[in-house]
Structure 1
Amino acid sequence: MKELRHLNKYLYKYKHLLILGFIFLVISNYFGVWPAKVVRYAIDYVTDSYRVYRLYEGTSLSESVFERLEVGVLILGAIMILMAFLRGFFLFLVRQTIIVMSRKVEYDLKNEIFEQYQNLPLSFYRKNNTGDLMNRISEDVSQVRMYLGPGIMYGINLLVLFPMVIYEMLKVNVELTIYALLPLPILSLSIYFVNNVINKRSEKIQESLSDLSTYVQEAFSGIRVLKAFVREKDSAEKFTTESEKYKYRSLRLTFVNSLFFPLIMALIGLSILLTIYVGGSQVIKGEITYGNIAEFVIYVNMLTWPVTALGWITSINQRAAASQKRINQFLKEKNHIESTQNLERDLKGDVAFNNVSFDYPDSGIRALDGISFSVKAGESIAIIGTTGSGKSTIANLMLRLYDTTSGSITVDGEDIKAFDISSMRSQMGYVPQEVFLFSDTIQNNIAFGSDNISLADVEQAAKDADLYDNITDFPKGLQTILGERGITLSGGQKQRASIARAIVRNPKVLILDDALSAVDTNTENTILNSLSRIMKGRTTVIISHRVSSAKLADKIIVLDEGKIIEHGTNESLLAKGGVYKELYEKQLKQEENA
């Protein structure tokens, strides 16, 4: 249960609801215990009145005794109804405090997890799948809420009701109380031994659910590929296998949980039998009355649900502990990418890489090896290379999505680690290699990077990216809702929308990571002509495997296996006759053949 200590801060935050819920539980149980006394008094009252009636049967007093008996029974019945109503009312208040508290904590916990997800570095998402992330913020939090709501409510109810009932039982007869409670230690030992089994099986269930969620998410995201390769049947079979694993583990847990109820009912039945047998003997001896036996039976039955709930509460708590353990694993993750000085200033755009090397933390692969280059404010640089040469890694390091393994990066003469991360990134425009668009309007997707972008700015950015004419073909124009991941648009349109999103912010530093890979030559030339105008006055980093994109840059570096093998201008590199010229001639032939 130590994993659940993380929730103590929320219990303290909503302590007023918890305290009120406890008070309401005490009051409701008080009105729940009293009916047993009323029943005892009623049975004894009826028994004694009947004896008096039999004494005076046939006389004028018998009618008077019978009328008084009727009135007494009606009054006692009214008291029972009033007690039931009051108990029900306070139980309603209990749910409006403790269950409401659990919903509030659920809300806060989900926000805490989501905020943690937002703050974690890119390396975290490279080693954890989306389905598992979603499962921990949804299913695992739901399991924790069951502990905070019903688990705490019925747990407190057990702690409150048990002493109250046992106290009333002891007041009546100590010996009868001992016999009635005799089976309960057996129950406690049974629960103790089953706890570990429930905990282990609960963890296995949550793991299976994460695997199942991950597979479903991937299947739906890749539905185009599944259909194109006619793998629907294989996908369904794999889903069946994952579901079967989850079902098997759930049934194993259900089997353990199902042992509780029969065991508890048998022990409660044994308590009632002992109560009637021992109580009957004491009635014969004249030590207690018939009403006392009825009172005891009601007390034992009152303990039935709390004791029955003990197994259920145990299961809830163990599941919650297993889920909170999984949640805590991610909440304990640290973001090592932090600002050293939190500098917030307007960037000029001077960028320099000083002997930078980088190894990916999850794989250990060296992406960059001793890279050094600089670009002054307002200048542009093109980074050319084949797939896997380390081009995109440079963009990730400039945005501080990762930190260098060795060497340093400076912006305006300051180490990049000194800048406030949000402030620095807000002044950079980034077009990623893998375009991601949200299920929102085209306008909102282009204006995504800022809260103060006008419609005119969005339209101009769309024109600069050669997207505006395509948008006007849609019936709703900029208000067209894009499907998941921008599925409404073609690959080239999505890429141009991403370019528009980057330039609409008027960034000081513009990073284009293979931004024209999905467009044809004519569209590329149109966008390049627009970019040549947009690039003026801002630092631009053009990352590409196309030499045609590099022509715009003031300087060019060629990467191979994480190292700079050539650098210079377009003209000087062509004159040099090295790797750059080979790429240029190869791509020129491809365009001519196309």
Structure 2
Amino acid sequence: MKTILRVLGLLRPYRREVTFALVCILVGNTFALAVPRLLGATIDAVVARGNMGLVLALAGAIVVVSLLRGLFLFGQGYYTEAAAQGAAYRLRNQLYDHLQRLSFTYHDRQQTGELMSRATSDIENVRMFLKFGLERSVQLLFLLPLTCVLLLTLDAKLALLSFAFLPVILGRSFYASRQLRRLWDRVNADTGALTTILQENLVGVRVVRAFGREDFESRKFAAQARNVSLDTLEANKLHSFNMPFMNLMILLAIGLVLWLGGQEVIAGRMTPGALAQFIFYLLMLTGPVRVVGFIATLYSRAASSGGRIFEVLDAPSPVRDAPQA
């Protein structure tokens, strides 16, 4: 958790972009919450009253709300990317500058390919978390409670039945997050070792050829590349199981709502528009819940990569300014 908080601290110089992004996320998702209510009212206007004038007015309102939502979605994407790119730019330069100031002893102990991996793929993992992880996390924290309240106001019984699936989904996500952290640590270490082999081979290619060691070096590279492939495959296998599992839980919840809600409509205790509205809100609820697995993956990769980057940045440098220099 300390590593993630330190990663989030990279956004401090970009408070303006982060603020604009948060405003766009909150306002855009507020417009998104208005669409199901308008759709439900439109269905009831057609089925119950046949009022085409009201239908046209509601359809126009849906178009306007959707356009406004699209505008704020653009702002959301732009400002989150601007903040994430800025943070990655500063971190990359900070890491490079610190490497210039570290002692020869430090560089003798470290493998060049490993340092290259931290300056490239690890920083990209951090950027992905700052862009998508932060964006999706805010959406989750905003939409989840509001959508739950809206579902409860529409039909408390159906809402509580739907919520029964949430602990299973969230529990699976947290379990996967712990497993993915371990796997991505291995992938990052393997990638660093692979980069080291490549770098050392390219630098010493004349020596390799002079001693006829091409086949040996090729086998060594292939063995390490296989480790990267197998560990990445294992991590993605876990992630790939997570998504279908969550989708299954979501579809079971929707099927249960359609069955019980349909009976309520037939009995006259619920309007078709209210049932449609409930299903739309349930789908909106499942959106944030579905990306919990994606957020968990980004979180795990950022925690692993951030730790590797900060390990270098925290290494003491013998090159320091004199007092009052």
Q: What interval of TM-score do these two structures reach, taking the shorter chain for normalisation? A: over 0.9
1:93 is the counterpart of 2:103 = no
Q: Secondary structure at the match of 1:12?
A: helix
1:203 is the counterpart of 2:167 = no
- Counterpart for residue 230 of structure 2: 248
Q: Once the 2 structures are TM-superposed, how far is the Cα of residue 11 of structure 1 from its aligned partner?
A: 2.3
Residues 165, 249 of structure 2: 8 Å contact kept: yes
Of 304, 308, 311, the residue aligned with 1:329 is 311
Deviation beyond 6 Å, 4+ runs, structure 1: 339-342
Q: Which has the higher contact order (CA 8 A, sep 6+)?
A: 2
Q: Secondary structure at the match of 2:302?
A: helix
Instruction: Name the aligned partner's letter for residue 21 of structure 2.
Output: G
Q: Once the 2 structures are TM-superposed, how far is the Cα of residue 3 of structure 1 from its aligned partner?
A: 1.1
Query: Where do residues 268-417 of structure 1 align in structure 2 (5 Å cutoff)?
Result: 268-336=250-318, 338=320
- Counterpart for residue 31 of structure 2: 31
Question: Which has a greater percent of strand?
Answer: 1
Larger Rg: 1
Q: Once the 2 structures are TM-superposed, how far is the Cα of residue 266 of structure 1 from its aligned partner?
A: 0.6
Change (3 A) 1:294 1:207: same
- Counterpart for residue 3 of structure 2: 3
5+ unaligned residues in a row in structure 1: which ranges?
51-67, 343-419, 421-594
Query: Where do residues 113-262 of structure 1 align in structure 2 (5 Å cutoff)?
Result: 113-262=95-244
Distance 1:12 1:340 in 2: 28
Distance 1:146 1:340 in 2: 38
Cα shift readout 1:561-589 (whole Å, capped 9, x = no counterpart): xxxxxxxxxxxxxxxxxxxxxxxxxxxxx
Q: Once the 2 structures are TM-superposed, how far is the Cα of residue 138 of structure 1 from its aligned partner?
A: 0.8
Cα shift readout 1:345-400 (whole Å, capped 9, x = no counterpart): xxxxxxxxxxxxxxxxxxxxxxxxxxxxxxxxxxxxxxxxxxxxxxxxxxxxxxxx
Change (3 A) 1:274 1:341: closer
Distance 1:5 1:231 in 2: 46
Question: Which has a greater percent of helix?
Answer: 2
Q: Secondary structure at the match of 1:230?
A: coil
Q: Once the 2 structures are TM-superposed, how far is the Cα of residue 175 of structure 1 from its aligned partner?
A: 1.6
Change (3 A) 1:339 1:280: closer
Residues 206, 323 of structure 1: 8 Å contact kept: yes
Q: Once the 2 structures are TM-superposed, how far is the Cα of residue 89 of structure 1 from its aligned partner?
A: 1.0
Distance 2:319 2:172 in 1: 50
Q: Secondary structure at the match of 1:14?
A: helix
TM-score by length of 1: 0.53
Instruction: Name the aligned partner's letter for residue 167 of structure 1.
Output: V
Distance 2:236 2:319 in 1: 44
Distance 1:322 1:240 in 2: 25
Q: Secondary structure at the match of 2:261?
A: helix
Residues 260, 308 of structure 1: 8 Å contact kept: no
Distance 2:254 2:14 in 1: 40
Instruction: Name the aligned partner's letter for residue 37 of structure 1.
Output: R
Q: Once the 2 structures are TM-superposed, how far is the Cα of residue 120 of structure 1 from its aligned partner?
A: 1.0
Q: Once the 2 structures are TM-superposed, how far is the Cα of residue 255 of structure 1 from its aligned partner?
A: 0.9
Q: Secondary structure at the match of 2:291?
A: helix
1:106 is the counterpart of 2:88 = yes
Residues 197, 221 of structure 2: 8 Å contact kept: yes
Q: Secondary structure at the match of 1:225?
A: helix
Residues 154, 306 of structure 1: 8 Å contact kept: yes
Distance 2:9 2:246 in 1: 35
Distance 1:222 1:120 in 2: 24
RMSD of Structure 2 on Structure 1 (CA): 1.7
Q: Once the 2 structures are TM-superposed, how far is the Cα of residue 273 of structure 1 from its aligned partner?
A: 1.3
TM-score by length of 2: 0.95
